[in-house]
Amino acid sequence: MERTQIIDSFAAAARDPLSYAKQWKARTGRPVIGSFPMNFPGELAHAAGALPMILQESDDPITVGHGLLFPFYCGYTRSMVDQAVRGDFDVLDAIMFGDHCVQLLGAADAIRMQLTNTRVIFFQLISSMCDPWTQGRSEESFAKLRAELEDFAGAKVQDEAMHASIRLFNKNRGLIRRLYDMRKKGIAPLGSVEMQHVVKSSMVMDKAEHTELLEKLVRIYDSAAPLPARNVRLHLSGHFCQAPKPELLEMIEQCGVTVVGDDLYHGFRYISTDVPEQGDPIAGLARWYMDRNTGVPCPTRVQNNVDWDAYLLNAMRDEKAEGMIVLMAKFCEPHMYYYPEVKEAFEKADMPHLLIETEHDGMALESLKTRVETFVEIVKHRQAA
Amino acid sequence: MNIAVKSPFEEKKANKLQSTRIAGKLVNDYWEMVWRAKEEGKLVCWYEGSAINPFLEAADICWVHGEAYSAMLAARHQEGTAQRVAEERGYMRELCSYARTHLGCAVSNQRLRGDNAGATPDEDDLTWKLPPPDMIISAYAYCSTGQQWDEMTSRVFGKKIPIFNVSLPWIWGSKPDAGYLRGQEWEETSTYVERQLFDMVKFIEERTGKPYPWDRLYSMMADIRRASELRLEAMELCTAQPAPASFFDWVVSIAPINNLPVAGVKDYFETVLTEVKQRVKDGEGAVPDEKYRLFFDGIMNWNKVGWLANKFAKWDAAVVAGRYTHMAFWQEPSLIDPNAPVRGMAQNYLICPNNHAAPILIDLIMGLCRKFKVDGMVIHASRTCRAFTNPQFMIADTAHKQLGIPTSMFEGDVTDESFYKDELLNSRVEAMLEAIEHRRMVHAA
Ligand code: SF4
Ligand code: SF4
């Protein structure tokens, strides 16, 4: 299989996950479980025989959803409600979530009221990450989810099945991390839109199918030699629940930028951390949940002993990135809270960054382009100096 | 010569409870005490959200409630500097304005007391004046923004301040046994929070270096329980027509029940209750001519309390109850056992006006609307407090369907005046009052 064919398969699922889900369901006769980002353990739903799918923001403009959520909410939550009201989620047998960003809670309530025939399950994950009881409480939450899943599926979710799912998911993450590494070294010249297709499709596709395709893709680059880099090397940061729009990423790269790393949720954040493969799987998932936040700190959690800003600066050193573009989804409160810390740390470290606020309903790409071009010039001048 | 002629309409004003003036004095005394705390050698704890203050007051720790400070600044129209300082540091305008204002205070406190030696604080500017914290306790129900705000405060202070997090889960209530104050989820969540509060006490002991004075807490909680009963009794009397007190009187009475020193609180609500009883006896209303009774959904617009109270009075509309005032703040005193109050305290923290998922929450609101016999509902869509705006479309819809009452929505904010849209409020409320009139005519025909 060619590189383009593989990327196209990923892109197709990433662009229209709900159609993929319909086909999968028709093919397998098994249930589809939608989840909200960013900390749902797909492994558990997979072990229960379902297709776990992280629900994605749609490109469609918000229409009927306006009647349920105010316009001053992030695009992700507004789009979720809009899709629910339009009936797009009919393919889902259940929706499950453990994250409790205040805007997401608003969306969840509205969605439950709309989808009276769909089971909506909530298991609140503790968001305070360094308490003595964080591990224990996370275990309780995942155990609750397991019980809910068993009730939903009408069968026990066995440890062996969970271990098998964990191994598969780890393998999938590991392969994507290899691609990241290859991209960083210039071996895999994957554009950021292509990378998004890889990760986003992993959030929605059957894991085994996705992994098989990934293995082929990785093999293509295995023996490749690094390409000489001429562009400015940048890190992309931010954007949590929703994927940045591909046209925005393309525009950035057209300004003479090579994206060498990211901490986007539709990027490295999603695949940063593996679940321990030995021992009690629930304890393992709790460990994973905590490790994720030390691995790639997230502003939706609170953890006094890790710093997102320091992580970013370190990651960029490793990626040999010369600057960073922050993509902030408009109205995303966790991001707005943390941004001043990042700004201050970057100013102190004399590392340039550019903040771009993104919107669900269209962005003025032309004027943004001017800003990115100016930023790229600044970074180039610094290099030359 | 110009002679100003006032129309009788313009002179209609809210008939505020006289006793709420005492609240103003108590609030001033409280902040004076806070500002003196360091001179008096007290440990200072910053917190927001849940009323954990009795835990601190009992241990002789000065408690500094974040929202209360932001609200006080806004009520005195002194929030501007803090909001500007916050913006300068990069906190964006769409962030919770309570938090933004308070973070502005933290930043400016750091600047003036910290490294930026040489800057001379202006004594009249309250932005910098809070005593810096020796500890932070975060205990915010429902709203993720509350916990993040505390975390960011700790970071503004260079992460040098010990912080303790109490996690208060949302009551999702999807099981058949779920409901207000009942069901397995309620009991389990109560136990989880109770456990954390005992750990919080250990954290307090570590800070003070003394064993925790439980007896003091018990006696304070007995007083709070009583104060809460008095408050609820007075609120209940507002089912009378005309209503003797309004939502705005209860807004002014939030600080006493929520964060003022316990010693004065029982007396305060005794005085309030006495006045309310007298008004009922005399048939005296909270607005001069009560023609309409409204429910207020949403958080308060702190820059506009008096202004809104008078505005509704001019419309002959008594705002008789609200989600913010009538569904929180030691709302369930019977859960507090003064001899073992911690579980009941945990449970009261879980009853914030947002912490139950929409089906339970909306049921409670409809119950209040029925009880207070409201004709309509005014909904304050607070731009930066999404915790309150989350269920508002569903609340409006249910009010139409279940109660057949009109609603009107206006945009405003907790403490950022720039989001407040007066014309929108005027035109929408007037349209709603017309709809009420129309409904009455139809019913009369
Ligand atoms: S974390 Fe940000 S993007 Fe995600 S639901 Fe909350 S506000 Fe929206
Ligand atoms: S958004 Fe509302 S509930 Fe949340 S912290 Fe701010 S004021 Fe409190």
Q: If you measure from the C-alpha of residue B143 to the centroid of ligand 2, how many angstroms do you get, rounded to a whole number?
A: 6
| A280 shares a domain with A250 | yes
The C-alpha atoms of residue B253 and residue B394 are separated, in whole angstroms, by 28
| A116 shares a domain with A67 | yes
| CA nearest ligand 1 atom 3, residue | A241
Residue B276: predicted pLDDT: 98
Residue B2 in this model has a pLDDT that exceeds 70: no
Provide the residue ranges of all domains of chain B, joining segments of one domain with +. Answer: 18-444
B96 lines ligand 2 (CB under 6 A): yes
Which two three-digit tokens encode residue B136? 């932070």
Is the CB of residue B138 less than 8 Å away from at least one CB of chain A?
yes
Mean pLDDT in residue range B2-6: 45
Nearest to A238 by CA among A111, A63, A355, A68: A355
User: B1: pLDDT confidence band, cut at 50, 70 and 90?
Assistant: very low
For this complex, say whether ipTM is above 0.90.
yes
Residue B200: predicted pLDDT: 98
Residue B131 in this model has a pLDDT that exceeds 90: yes
Residue B123: predicted pLDDT: 76
Q: Which of A135, A157, A179 is the last residue of a domain?
A: A157
Atom of ligand 2 nearest to the CA of B149: 5
| A265 shares a domain with A352 | yes
Residue A269 in this model has a pLDDT that exceeds 50: yes
User: B112: pLDDT confidence band, cut at 50, 70 and 90?
Assistant: confident
Q: Which residues pair with B140 in a beta bridge?
A: B167
Is the CB of residue B143 less than 8 Å away from at least one CB of chain A?
yes
| A237 shares a domain with A141 | no
CA A129 remoteness from chain centre:
19
Residue B113: predicted pLDDT: 64
User: B259: pLDDT confidence band, cut at 50, 70 and 90?
Assistant: very high
Residue B10: predicted pLDDT: 60
In a domain, A245, yes or no: yes
Mean pLDDT computed over every residue of chain A: 96
B107 lines ligand 2 (CB under 6 A): no
Q: Give per-residue pLDDT as tens, B243-258.
A: 999 999 999 999 999 9
Nearest to B98 by CA among B66, B126, B137: B66
The edge-to-edge listing of strands for the beta sheet with B292-297 is B317-322, B292-297, B376-382, B407-412
When CB atoms are compared, the residue of B148, B358, B359 closest to A302 is B148
Residue B73 in this model has a pLDDT that exceeds 60: yes
In a domain, A287, yes or no: yes
Q: CA of B170: which chain A residue's CA is closest? A: A124
Mean pLDDT computed over every residue of chain B: 94
The answer to whether residues B293 and B377 touch, using CB atoms and an 8 Å cutoff, is: no
| A40 shares a domain with A129 | yes
The C-alpha atoms of residue A159 and residue B165 are separated, in whole angstroms, by 32
In a domain, A7, yes or no: no
Mean pLDDT in residue range B191-219: 98
Residue B111: predicted pLDDT: 78
Mean pLDDT in residue range A275-303: 98
| Burial track A287-323 (b if 16+ CB lie within 10 A, e otherwise) | bbbbebbebbbbbbbbbbebbbbebbbebbeebebbb
Which two three-digit tokens encode residue B438? 């129309």
User: A228: pLDDT confidence band, cut at 50, 70 and 90?
Assistant: confident
A329 lines ligand 1 (CB under 6 A): yes
| A374 shares a domain with A244 | yes
A268 lines ligand 1 (CB under 6 A): no
Residue B119: predicted pLDDT: 58
CATH of the domain at A93: 3.40.50.11890
Contact assignment for A340 to B91 by CB distance below 8 Å: yes
| A306 shares a domain with A258 | yes
Containing domain of residue A379, as a range? Answer: 162-187+231-384
In a domain, A75, yes or no: yes
Q: Give per-residue pLDDT as tens, A41-73.
A: 999 999 999 999 999 999 999 999 999 999 999
Name residue, tokens 């205070």: B105
The C-alpha atoms of residue A314 and residue A318 are separated, in whole angstroms, by 6
| A171 shares a domain with A153 | no
Residue B163: its chain A contacts at CB < 8 A?
304
Residue A350: predicted pLDDT: 97
Which two three-digit tokens encode residue B76? 């005195």
Residue A344: its chain B contacts at CB < 8 A?
89-90
How distant is the Cα of B199 from the closest Cα of chain A, in angstroms? 10
| A181 shares a domain with A95 | no
Mean pLDDT in residue range A219-247: 92
Residue A40 in this model has a pLDDT that exceeds 90: yes
The C-alpha atoms of residue B415 and residue A245 are separated, in whole angstroms, by 34
Distances (CA, A) of A313 to A235, A327, B162, B428: 10, 16, 26, 51
Mean pLDDT in residue range A344-354: 97
| A260 shares a domain with A331 | yes
Q: Give per-residue pLDDT as tens, B310-369.
A: 999 999 999 999 999 999 999 999 999 999 999 999 999 999 899 999 999 999 999 999
Which two three-digit tokens encode residue B24? 């103003």
| CA nearest ligand 1 atom 7, residue | A332
Mean pLDDT in residue range A74-93: 97
In a domain, A246, yes or no: yes
Q: Give per-residue pLDDT as tens, A236-245.
A: 999 999 999 9
Residue B99: its chain A contacts at CB < 8 A?
337
Nearest to B361 by CA among B330, B388, B333: B388
The C-alpha atoms of residue A287 and residue B292 are separated, in whole angstroms, by 57
User: B271: pLDDT confidence band, cut at 50, 70 and 90?
Assistant: very high
| A171 shares a domain with A151 | no
User: B4: pLDDT confidence band, cut at 50, 70 and 90?
Assistant: very low
When CB atoms are compared, the residue of B99, B165, B390 closest to A302 is B165
Which two three-digit tokens encode residue A145? 């989810």
| A172 shares a domain with A143 | no
SS3 (DSSP) at B45: strand
In a domain, A219, yes or no: no
Distances (CA, A) of A71 to A66, B218, B386, B421, B430: 7, 46, 11, 16, 24
Q: Which of B69, B138, B145 to mutate to test the pocket of ligand 2 (most atoms within 8 A of CB)?
A: B145
Q: Which residues contact B389 (CB under 8 A, 6 or more apart)?
A: A70, A106, B298, B381, B382
User: A385: pLDDT confidence band, cut at 50, 70 and 90?
Assistant: confident
Residue length of chain B = 445
Name residue, tokens 């073992």: B340
Residue B120: predicted pLDDT: 65
Q: How many domains does chain A have?
A: 2
Q: Dihedral through CA B431, CA B436, CA B440, CA B441, nearest 10? A: 10
Q: Could you give the count of Cα atoms lying within 13 Å of A337 in the half-sphere of its Cβ?
A: 29
Residues of chain A whose C-beta is under 8 A from some C-beta in B? 67-70, 72-73, 100-103, 105-106, 109-110, 112-113, 120-122, 124, 126-128, 131-133, 137, 299-300, 302, 304, 330-331, 333-334, 336-341, 343-344
Q: Give per-residue pLDDT as tens, A174-190.
A: 999 999 999 999 999 99
